[in-house]
């Protein structure tokens, strides 16, 4: 006859047979008990409080973890507790799986934290005459793992650290099989990682607490590679000229990132030794340049990448100084022109597991478009250029304090700036609002001509829109519009058939749907179907940093997505020229 | 009804069902067909000649490999050939598994070559518009492997190498999962490794062809660490004094080895780039010192090691310059005082798979003794000191040209020297012969006293034996004698119960059994039971370099062997003092 286990604080009752493991039963009933250490009695995160029922004596390990966690004597590890009778228990909130939300805008998708990097505190036994093991085998016993990989340099330091810390150390394990670091005392609370959005125009580095998944701080800077080429194509050409240029491009971005990371860590009082992993999400060319890998094959037909998927290597190899053995992982490229920024974006939105006809559009310097139907999972890319990031626009700027990000007309023109600072320039969303407004007012014709005599429209004393600026926006919009239209047509998906359109990109929530539709950037559909997911590339990098299953899913996802080349489609030219007209125009075909 | 396959040149007939793979059937019948690449049609080593029967058209890969191997059109890869009818075939000798003999003396144990390092030549497809893979995935397809590990530095060079070599390259794979190197053109013939006997007194580096298992050349030198301590205990003490001393000890041996390796490679016209792995066999302290790992815990009770078993790391990390990504592997230690020299020695003699009561004695600076009975597998160690290597002996020297290695008396004293050169000194085996002779002549008493007035016995004008020399030998012999006696007594094995005694050590075939028994170094048993296996430690290193199964076996073996501490046995002192008398004396108890 099964025993009854009442979980008082969760108001649930579960049943179990004699001898079954309490942790297994709790998990079986769908309760998210933390099994951080895979039920090895290492982490002490699955303590439950026994209110009624058998309270077996504490073993040495439980006692150690109980004291470490300052819990009452009525707590036991669920991963050690064998059921022998009816029970009434509490599962403390701390013993439930840590979850975090990866996307900051749009949709709320909880992600269970299961990092590659895990820290365990404990006392390493001294080998004795009666157990003549080696220090390393005692370590393996402590971590319940027979064979552990360790770098020679780290192994050399182990005896000293152990001696100095009186055998009480925190071990940093990577993917359960490699010792990354060993630190004296209990440093389990101090575990950090970095997620990097490796944009062509903008770099974002986010500092993340690997224990909680919480974003601690972030830094945004212009990509310093811009001095060698504003867009990715000109950087590929520059690298193609001579091998030294590739080195220059790599050096400049490493310096750029190193500086950002240093400042972030300093500002948040986190020593670099406590940062154990960095994950990069960037387009294919950007991540090749980051790794110093030739982009020559991306410069000429058939435009192929050197790699799509790489195992984690060390940040040190890359010249980025974190913990000596910290790992670096690059979100895998889907195809030559659909890179790790998109694979991570798809991971962040969990597109692969949603049903219906879904469109994912990343409005970055490259406009990547992914269509998922019941039958197909296809991606394409369009060269939008950096106009949406305020580049190549006379009064343009990044979405930084002082940027006009929203423009309204209520009797008079109202300019909203970031942090309400004095207008410094205009960023992507502001430009889109402005063009829509000027179209409505007839100050710009549907073909993009500034009406009247002057070829400049003044907004403030310092800020104006030139004919050239309008042309830049027009080209960027047309690129995206053509892409969406052609991919939908190819797979016979009409606008009305679209169940959801995810808009990713630095635009975030600022993009005004009505205005975006007005100029033709977004298809003219039910606005409720449009979801702004913000910087999904960065969010995906965060997911890849925080979740081993997410990384696994992404690595298998990239094999499923097909690439469709727009440029090789004979209808491309016509469609592009048609798309140059502002508005939804021909997209209803 | 099964088909009949006549193997003409081997005079065998085998049977198979329709659709079965020819390679599988050949292997099933116990014929050692080469499956170097695990039947992936990569290496082209399993070609068979079809004399009668179906000759299917060559596919692209077979055609490529056929031309590479300059074979006739009637050859097909057995790993691709599906049986569809009766056959008559020849299996060319080149298609049979390469085997080598690991031990050079004593017993002949054939070892099938299955190296960790494997080289494959082929043409890497260029990704095309129709197959937009990455370069690395094309590589994976070529090697029939989805995910390959590769160092960032190597990945950076790949596009250039491929371009320069018109896609025709040789890939060096390690353990089927990591690309170690990529070389333009076909370099499969050039694959080398190093086996190192890391002796306390003597270093031996052997250069080995990884394709044939053949030993190309070897170099022997005194261990340069000797300037910091003649024996291992004094080196441990030296390292214990201050951390800098450990670094000194490591630096000196790395320099020593590097010099030996450089000379060996230069002499044999082998570039360091073609050396992909180095395997070290040394005692526990020696391999800690090699890796720059503290020996402090070996200096004080309970005398434990920092590691027993380590995964392969890179030679580069160690400061030894071979191929940039060449691997370094250290034969695993069995226990604190029974190191990788013994685990490799046991591998070389394949002791674990032999039946009966077996004794393995390594007569190095440390005398390690392993006893295997039907029930027990135990090891112990005794501090013999370096006397057997000619050290601490007034006229002593290593077994180098000019050393007296054999002494006989036929009317007059006959001194045999290595390479018949003029006597320079006397080495271990010569000393044993000499002491036995002097005992017989009564010039030395059984208690080790030189009879008569003088305390020196002159042998040649320059070479003499002093009372101190006799004492050194006496102590070394007593250490080994005590060890053998005590371990046998402990497990109730009488001398007559011993089925085989393997004697390892630089002594090799030169040791005169009768004389060794006369002085008490070897137990007085049927001389036919004594097998001299020579430098089994070096032979084992060779086995660990050439055979993946051997390495696996050794790593599991070290968990099976128990350690017996002689020093902690209360009868040790008495037994040792008794053993100081030359001769088999009390060992018949």
| Residue A435 neighbours by CB under 8 Å, 6+ apart | A444, A465, A470, A473, A515, A519, A582
CA distance A72 to A56: 14
Per-residue pLDDT at A586? 44
Q: Which residues of B touch A158 (CB under 8 A)?
A: 306
The answer to whether the Cα torsion of B206, B209, B213, B214 is positive or negative is: negative
A159/B313 CB distance under 8 A = no
Average pLDDT score over residue span A575-587: 76
Using the Cβ of B307 and the Cβ atoms of chain A, whether some distance falls under 8 Å is answered with: yes
DSSP per residue, B105-130: SS---EEE-B-SEEEEEEEPPPPBTT
More confident: B193 or A576: B193
Closest CA to A450 of A460, A432, A435, A463: A435
CA B496 from centroid of its chain's CA atoms: 30
Give A587's pLDDT tier (boundaries 50, 70, 90): very low
- The two tokens of residue B115 are 């190296």
A 141-160 → B contacts, CB under 8 A: 147, 149-153, 155-156, 158-160
A241 at B interface, C-beta within 8 A: no
Half-sphere exposure for A430 (CA within 13 Å, toward CB) = 31
**Under a CB-based contact definition with an 8 Å cutoff, are residues B351 and B502 in contact?**
yes
The CA-atom distances, in angstroms, between B48 and each of B90, B94, B282 are 6, 10, 43
Candidate from A307, A308, A336 with C-beta closest to B155:
A307
Q: How far is CA A132 from the centre of its chain?
A: 46
Digit-coded pLDDT (tens) for A147-190: 889 999 999 999 999 999 999 999 999 999 999 999 999 999 99
User: Would you call B132 helix, strand, or coil by DSSP?
Assistant: coil
For B481, the token pair is 């004698």
Higher pLDDT, residue B188 or A569: B188
Inter-chain CB proximity B127 and A304 less than 8 Å: yes
Chain A residue numbers touching B297 (CB-CB < 8 A):
127, 135, 159
Mean pLDDT of chain A: 92
Across the range A520-543, mean pLDDT stands at 94
pLDDT at A509: 67
Chain A residue with minimal CA distance to B246?
A: A156
Q: How far does the CA of residue A133 sit from the closest CA of chain B (Å)?
A: 7
The terminus-to-terminus CA distance of chain A in angstroms comes to 67
Q: Does A30 touch chain B (CB under 8 A)?
A: no
Contact B155 A336 (CB under 8 A): no
Is B101 strand, coil or helix? strand
Is B159 close to A293, i.e. CB distance below 8 A? Answer: yes
How many whole angstroms separate alpha carbon A292 and alpha carbon A248? 9
Mean predicted confidence (pLDDT) in A72-99: 94
Structure tokens at A277: 């992993």
Rounded to 10 degrees, the C-alpha dihedral B487/B489/B492/B498 comes to 70
Mean pLDDT across the stretch A117-146? 87
Chain B, residues 312-351, CB within 8 A of chain A, namely 313, 317-318, 333, 335-336
Owner of token pair 């301590």: B229
Res. A61: pLDDT tops 60:
yes
In angstroms, the separation between the Cα of residue B145 and the nearest Cα of chain A is 13
Are the CB atoms for A278 and A285 separated by under 8 Å? no
- Kindly calculate the radius of gyration of chain A based on its CA atoms and give it in whole angstroms: 27
Instruction: Give per-residue burial for B152-173: e unless 16+ CB within 10 Å, then b.
Output: eebbbebbebbeebebebbbbb
Closest CA to A228 of A258, A205, A256: A256
**Could you read off the pLDDT of A411-428 as tens digits, one per residue?**
899 999 999 999 999 998
Interface of A with B in 274-293 (CB under 8 A): 291-293
Give the CA distances from residue A455 to residues A431, A448, A459, A477, B561, in Å, rounded to whole numbers and listed in that order: 17, 11, 13, 20, 89
Which residues of B are less than 8 Å from A152 in CB distance?
291-292, 313, 317-318
Structure tokens at B533: 């296996």
Of B129, B243, B311, the CB nearest to A149: B311
- The residue behind tokens 């007034």 is B394
**Window 243-262 of B, Cβ < 8 Å to A:** 243
ipTM of model: 0.87
A136·B308 Cβ contact <8 A: yes
Q: Testing the interface with B: which of A247, A304, A318, A336 to mutate, by most B Cβ within 10 A?
A: A304
DSSP string, A172-192: EEETTTEEEEEEES--TT--E
A298-326 residue pLDDT tens: 988 888 999 999 999 999 999 999 999 99
User: Comparing A338 with B507, which gets the higher pLDDT?
Assistant: A338
Query: Strand B377-382 and strand B403-410: pairing?
Result: unpaired
A152: closest CA of chain B, how far (Å):
7
Name residues 352-411 of chain A within 8 A of B (Cβ). Answer: none
Contact at CB, B563 and A306, closer than 8 angstroms: no
What sign has the CA pseudo-torsion A382, A386, A389, A390?
A: negative
pLDDT of residue B233: 85
Looking at residue A588, its pLDDT comes to: 35
Q: Which residues of A touch B254 (CB under 8 A)?
A: none
DSSP 3-state percent helix, strand, coil across chain B (nearest 5) = 35, 25, 40
Question: HSE (CB half, 13 Å, CA atoms) of B516?
Answer: 24
Q: Judge whether A540 and A351 are in contact, CB under 8 Å.
A: no
Among B147, B155, B309, the residue with its CB nearest the CB of A293 is: B155
Are the beta carbons of A249 and A256 closer than 8 angstroms? no
Question: Per-residue confidence at A508, pLDDT binned at 50, 70, 90?
Answer: low
Residues of chain B with pLDDT below 50 are 586-589
- Pick from A128, A158, A336: CB nearest B132: A336
* Coil/strand/helix, residue B141: helix
Contacts of A335 in chain B (CB under 8 A): 132
A539-552 average pLDDT score:
97
Q: What is this structure's pTM? A: 0.90
- Is some CB atom of chain A closer than 8 A to the CB atom of B127? yes
B132 to A303: CB separation less than 8 angstroms, yes or no: yes
């Amino acid at each position: 006859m099964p025993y009854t286990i009442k979980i008082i604080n969760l108001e649930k009752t579960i049943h179990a047979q004699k001898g079954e493991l309490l942790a297994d039963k709790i998990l079986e009933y769908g309760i998210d008990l933390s099994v951080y250490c895979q039920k090895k009695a290492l982490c002490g995160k699955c303590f439950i409080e026994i209110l009624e029922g058998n309270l077996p004596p504490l073993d040495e390990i439980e006692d150690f973890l109980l004291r470490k966690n300052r819990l009452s004597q009525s707590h036991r590890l669920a991963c050690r507790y064998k059921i022998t009778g009816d029970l009434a228990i509490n599962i403390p909130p701390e013993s439930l799986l840590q979850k975090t939300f990866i996307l900051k805008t749009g949709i709320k998708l909880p992600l269970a934290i299961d990092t590659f990097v895990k820290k365990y505190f404990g006392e390493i036994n001294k080998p004795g005459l009666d157990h003549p093991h080696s220090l390393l085998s005692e370590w393996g016993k402590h971590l319940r793992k027979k064979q552990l990989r360790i770098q020679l340099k780290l192994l050399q330091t182990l005896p000293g650290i152990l001696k100095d810390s009186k055998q009480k150390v925190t071990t940093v394990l990577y993917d359960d099989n490699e010792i990354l670091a060993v630190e004296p005392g209990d440093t389990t609370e101090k575990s950090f990682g970095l997620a990097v959005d490796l944009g062509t125009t903008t770099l974002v580095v986010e500092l993340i607490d690997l224990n909680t998944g919480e974003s601690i701080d972030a830094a945004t800077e212009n990509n310093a590679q811009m001095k060698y080429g504003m867009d990715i194509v000109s950087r590929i050409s520059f690298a193609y000229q001579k091998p030294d240029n590739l080195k220059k491009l790599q050096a400049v971005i490493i310096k750029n990132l190193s500086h950002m990371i240093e400042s972030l860590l300093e500002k948040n009082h986190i020593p670099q030794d406590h940062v154990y992993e960095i994950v990069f999400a960037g387009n294919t060319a950007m991540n090749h340049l980051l790794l110093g890998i030739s982009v020559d094959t991306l410069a000429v037909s058939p435009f192929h990448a050197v790699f799509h998927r790489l195992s984690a290597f060390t940040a040190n190899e890359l010249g980025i100084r974190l913990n000596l053995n910290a790992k670096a992982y690059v979100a895998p490229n889907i195809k030559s022109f659909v890179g790790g920024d998109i694979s991570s974006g798809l991971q962040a939105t969990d597109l692969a597991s949603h049903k219906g006809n879904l469109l994912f559009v990343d409005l970055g310097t490259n406009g990547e478009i992914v269509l998922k139907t019941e039958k197909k999972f296809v991606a394409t890319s369009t060269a939008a250029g950096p106009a949406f990031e305020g580049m190549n626009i006379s009064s343009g700027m990044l979405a930084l304090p002082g940027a006009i990000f929203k423009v309204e007309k209520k009797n008079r023109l109202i300019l909203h700036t970031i942090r309400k600072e004095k207008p410094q320039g205009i960023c992507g969303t502001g430009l889109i609002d402005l063009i829509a407004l000027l179209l409505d007012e007839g100050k710009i014709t549907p073909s993009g001509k500034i009406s009247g005599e002057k070829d400049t429209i003044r907004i403030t004393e310092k800020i104006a829109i030139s004919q050239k600026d309008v042309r830049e926006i027009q080209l960027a919009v047309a690129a995206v519009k053509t892409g969406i239209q052609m991919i939908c047509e190819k797979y016979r998906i009409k606008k009305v058939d679209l169940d959801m359109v995810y808009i990713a990109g630095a635009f975030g929530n600022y993009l005004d749907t009505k205005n975006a539709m007005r100029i033709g950037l977004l298809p003219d559909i039910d606005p409720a179907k449009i979801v702004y997911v913000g910087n999904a590339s960065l969010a995906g990098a965060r997911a890849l940093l925080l979740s081993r299953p997410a990384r696994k899913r992404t690595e298998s996802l990239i094999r499923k997505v097909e690439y469709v080349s727009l440029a090789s489609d004979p209808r491309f030219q016509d469609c592009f020229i048609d798309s140059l007209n502002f508005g939804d125009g021909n997209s209803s075909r």
